[in-house]
Amino acid sequence: MDSILVINAGSATLKFALYPRCGDTPGEIAAHPSFAAGQIDGLQPGGRLRLCPSGADPVDLAEPADEAQRFDVALQAVQAHVAAVAPDAHIVAVAHRIVHGGRYYRAPTRLDDTAMMLLTSLTPLAPLHQPHNLAGVRALRKAFPALPQIGCFDTAFHADLPELETRFALPQALHDEGVRRYGFHGLSYDYVMQVLRGCSTRAGGRVLMAHLGSGASLCGAREGRSVATSMGFSALDGLMMGSRCGQLDPGVVLHLWREGWTEAQVEQLLYKESGLLGVSGLSADMRLLRRAADDGNPQARTAIDLFTYRLTREAGALAAVLGGVDVLVCTGGIGEHDAATRAALARALHYLGVELDGTANTAARGDGIAALHSAGSAVEVWVVPTDEGRVAAQAAWALLDTR
């Protein structure tokens, strides 16, 4: 059974899933969920290495004597797990989620030495993700030297953004060098649009998608194509996130530099010490913050309220660009599981005709696609659990088939 192995390598986790071929149509894979899926936790120095298969209990892995071998141990565990649960699978390629393709890659591509060099040059634009994405590629190239390694980019879904959406008010020379808005979470938005076409007659209209998780962004689509998004040049822009600041006056950065902060300190602050974590002083996890706020923690309540306010503000901006909203979709860890955030967003967009079915919203817990709008709502509201791996697998199959 020919299959694509999809890898999403991060700083602390390695997510994986196997997607089998289905039919003869380019890019067509089985409609059922991926199998041999899960993740390895504890890749960070000092972490606890564990294999966490989907739908099964975690299994502790042997700790390597050398910290530099943690990734090798993780890969060996993935290979062993896939061989055990899918012995008939024939892996024909590895597809990698890569956050930033910059101006170089607008579509999936084979990851040869030239591609790796160009993608490495984009590391400053996505320091939380790009180095780990590429470390995963290097490790898989070494482990499977005969297999095609295919990069699938979060920026690709936004490749055809309108000119004005991509521009900063900076000199033309900088724009020509690639200092422009790109947009992210593209694999997730691609998947959401695919699902929406199958369940809503309005999918070709004005769609506002909210990917809300540790990373968070909004995307406005028309006719299934991205026309506006909250993230820009880097994955810092737009919404407040788990530990990232979101939109920030660049004057703050200049001020910190004048105060003696180093570039590394500012980067640490903006990417890892801000957002829900920074405001609350407690956690980047919305679930924990909800419990703390219910127990009377004022900083947790402020963090939640600010997250909701920033979401409302950005959603209003994208709705204005779209000229209204026909469909609102929530996805990502918070978007799929946190009914209170969805309810707050719906209340804020009531002026656009959004009316939520409270019972349906409370019942939606991220375990499936669900319609959340009331019968009288002028805007459809959906929750769609995302599957970035499926989009990466589809893209990899399509690239292999066209070759």
pLDDT of the residue at 282:
96
Average pLDDT of 71-80? Answer: 88
Domains of the chain: 2-153 (3.30.420.40), 200-383 (3.30.420.40)
**How far is C-alpha 204 from the geometric centre of its chain's CA atoms?**
22
47 is in an annotated binding site: no
Residue 246 has pLDDT above 80, yes or no: yes
Distance of alpha carbon 98 from alpha carbon 134, whole angstroms: 8
Helix axes 286-294, 298-322, angle to 10 degrees: 130
Q: What is the mean pLDDT of the chain?
A: 93
335 is in an annotated binding site: yes
Q: What is the 8-class DSSP label of residue 29?
A: B
358 is in an annotated binding site: no
Contacts of 227 (CB under 8 A, 6+ apart): 161, 162, 165, 220, 221, 321, 322
Average pLDDT of 273-288? Answer: 96
**How far is C-alpha 39 from the geometric centre of its chain's CA atoms?**
16
Contacts of 348 (CB under 8 A, 6+ apart): 308, 311, 312, 315, 316
110 is in an annotated binding site: no
Query: Which helix or strand (DSSP H or E) is residue 149 part of?
Result: strand 149-153
72 catalytic? Reply is: no
Q: How many CB atoms lie within 10 A of CB 251?
A: 8
Percent of the chain with pLDDT over 70: 97
Distance of alpha carbon 356 from alpha carbon 378, whole angstroms: 10
Residue 33 has pLDDT above 70, yes or no: no
Q: How many CB atoms lie within 10 A of CB 315?
A: 23
Residue 28 has pLDDT above 80, yes or no: no
90 is in an annotated binding site: no
117 is in an annotated binding site: no
Distance of alpha carbon 52 from alpha carbon 37, whole angstroms: 9
Classify residue 368 by burial, with Cβ atoms within 10 Å: 0-12, 13-18, 19+.
Answer: exposed
Residue 26 has pLDDT above 70, yes or no: no
361 is in an annotated binding site: no
pLDDT of the residue at 44:
79
Distance of alpha carbon 392 from alpha carbon 395, whole angstroms: 5
pLDDT of the residue at 318:
98
- Token pair recorded at residue 149: 């390694």
Lowest-pLDDT range of 69-73, 115-119, 355-359: 69-73
Distance of alpha carbon 366 from alpha carbon 389, whole angstroms: 17
pLDDT of the residue at 23:
60
Helices and strands in the chain, H and E counts: 15, 14
Residue 25 has pLDDT above 90, yes or no: no
Helix/strand/coil for 13: strand
- Token pair recorded at residue 15: 């997510």
213 is in an annotated binding site: yes
333 is in an annotated binding site: yes
Average pLDDT of 245-255? Answer: 98
Classify residue 145 by burial, with Cβ atoms within 10 Å: 0-12, 13-18, 19+.
Answer: exposed
pLDDT tens digits along 82-141: 989 999 889 999 999 999 999 999 999 999 999 999 999 999 888 888 998 999 899 889
pLDDT of the residue at 24:
58
Average pLDDT of 20-42? Answer: 71
Provide the pLDDT confidence category of residue 64 given band limits of 50, 70 and 90: confident
Q: What is the 3-state secondary structure (H, E, C) of 157-210?
A: HHCCCCHHHHCCCCCHHHHHCCCCCCCCCHHHHHHHHHHHHHHCCCCCCEEEEE
Please tell me which residue in 57, 66, 112, 154 is annotated as part of the active site: 154
How long is the chain? 403
259 is in an annotated binding site: no
